[in-house]
Chains A and B, each alone.
Chain A
Amino acid sequence: MIEVQHLCKTFYVARRGAGFGQALHSLFHKDYEEIRALDDVSFSIQEGEMVGYIGPNGAGKSSTIKILSGILVPDGGSCIINGRVPWQDRISHVREIGVVFGQRTQLWWDVPVMDSYELLRDIYGVPEAIYQENLEELTDLLNLSELLKTPVRQLSLGQRMRCEIAASLLHNPRILFLDEPTIGLDAVSKLAVRKFILRRNQLHHTTVILTTHDMQDIEALTKRIILIGKGKILLDGTLDDIPGSHGNMEQAMADLYRNYGI
């Protein structure tokens, strides 16, 4: 279903030291550093799988998600999802995926959540019957009934995040990319979101790719994990492949990152 081979992406980042002298110097001469965000990344994911995509900050997780969702064009390598190259066939590709970027919002700020949902319904051309059915299911599972009439600006982070996740699923996507979906959520919301993602996967056989720093998300949701560091895939296996994963997960991850020097 998702076939990624030898994916590469390099960014050029302007760097300079702090201070006025350095700022002045960079007026005339800018130093660019090459950052290999993705360096020969390959993996494949089957339909209905739930995969945790983990790694330290700046490892290349978000870049991968952006390439898989057709937003970013890689410098090299190939990626086939449902028989399509995401960035070449963007419009038909994005019809079949749902994306949640935990740090951003897709809802219209000054209007009730419902208005954003109806816009999404029209953008994806979801038939009314299916839309109603999905909306009911999502409202029920994510406990949204109180929130739908509230303007987005007046929602708390956790409330908004639940609305964001529902927004990404209104069009029945076959694949769901979740980029840190539980960032900043309280315990109750976290549990609700996890339970919901599991249900969705069981009921609709939705393929889920999840990036997170919360190891409990990974424990609760995914069997398979892919570890990326400095743009390279370091481990593709299960939680059991991580030494010490049955004790303190945070500690185990920190040790793992240290061992790999990332």
Chain B
Amino acid sequence: MKKYFSFFRLRFSMGLQYRAAALAGIATQAFWGGLEILMFRAFYRADPLAFPMSLESTSAYIWLQQAFLALFMGWVMENEIFASIQSGNIVYELCRPIGLYRMLFVRSLAYRLSRAVLRCFPILLMAAFLPSPYGIALPPSPAAGMLFLLGMVLGLFVTVAFTMLIYSLTFFTISPAGIRMVALSALEILSGSILPIPFFPKGLQGVLEILPFAAMQNVPLRIYSGDISGNEAIRALSLQAFWLVVLVGTGVILMSRASKKVTLQGG
């Protein structure tokens, strides 16, 4: 266990040193969140009855999403890992007494967390000072707060487990660009990153809710904003746990195949 923790610590502390990138990220996310809320406000004004979430909930959803962008966005993947698989540098990881899947999983977690830690606080603080319904308030109840935290952890793990599939597939292709683009675009639309899932047409919504993509940011953000609660929240969390097991299982199998069958490139 200690080795994975050390791995986490090194990747995490390494992520903390990129200060300028963090500042740029904070500025971008603050603007993006603001613009999105203005857009939803316009929709809301046009017809409040056709609006599937309350404006408060929507604002909370957006600010949390922007604050924790690095935890849930599909494209937060490491080019260094892709490059090391493509060039064959990954051989060094294979001659260590550690599991490749676990190592890359921990590395991805650390990478995302180090980015999120640097970026989330200023955005949350700013959103907390915005007037209702445009800012963010405390969750509806302490119980909802706990469920939210659980959902965050599960959501982060599901997101990482999904990106692990993309890393694994890179072992089998000459260039990962195609898979990466298709998988990440699908993730972006279907996980509620562009538009929260309640805003999709009713029939489609039912399908989206059970896909693995809805087990990422969708669950914690909607629990926090009060859009789902009680039994519905428990059901959503269980579905997250289910997808986590499925994705990790698939990833482990793929990765072990990859490291057994694949030619390591570049002499």
Question: Residues on A close to B: CB < 8 A?
Answer: 11, 62, 66, 69-73, 87, 90-92, 94-95, 97, 99, 101, 103-106, 108-111, 115-116, 118-119, 122-125
Contacts and interface: CB of A to CB of B under 8 A. Distances in A.
Interface stretch (B91-99, B115-123, B232-240): B91-99
A11 B17 contact: no
A119 B11 CA distance: 10
B95 A69 contact: yes
Nearest to A62: B267
B95 A115 contact: no
Interface secondary structure of B, over-half rule? helix
Contact of A70 (B2, B5, B87, B95): B95
Nearest to B88: A104
Contacts of A104: 87-89, 91-92
B14 interface: yes
Interface in B1-50: 2-3, 5-7, 10, 13-14, 17
A73 B99 CA distance: 17
B264 interface: yes
Contacts of A66: 91, 264
Most chain A CB inside 10 Å of its own CB: which residue of B98, B259, B263: B263
A72 B99 CA distance: 16
Given A72-B264, A119-B10, 6 more contacts: A71-B259, A71-B264, A87-B260, A122-B2, A123-B7, A124-B96
B92 A106 contact: yes
Contact of A105 (B6, B89, B263): B89
The 7 A-B residue pairs with the shortest CB-CB distance, nearest first, are A122-B6, A106-B92, A123-B3, A71-B94, A91-B97, A95-B97, A99-B95
B158 to A, nearest CB: 27
Most chain B CB inside 10 Å of its own CB: which residue of A72, A73, A123: A123
B95 A94 contact: yes
Contacts of B264: 66, 71-72
A49 to B, nearest CB: 21
B79 to A, nearest CB: 12
A119 B6 contact: yes
Given A103-B267, A125-B3, A94 B91 contact: no
Interface string B231-267: 0000000000000000000000000000111011011
Nearest to A57: B267
Contacts of A106: 92
Contacts of B3: 122-123, 125
A91 B99 CA distance: 8
A101 B48 CA distance: 64
A110 B14 contact: yes
Contact of A123 (B14, B87, B89, B98): B98
A71 B263 CA distance: 10
B95 A97 contact: yes
A103 B92 CA distance: 11
A184 B2 CA distance: 36
Nearest to A58: B267
A214 B89 CA distance: 23
23 contacts: A66-B91, A73-B260, A91-B97, A91-B98, A91-B99, A94-B95, A99-B92, A99-B95, A101-B91, A104-B91, A108-B14, A111-B13, A111-B14, A116-B10, A118-B6, A118-B10, A119-B7, A119-B10, A123-B6, A123-B7, A123-B98, A124-B96, A124-B97
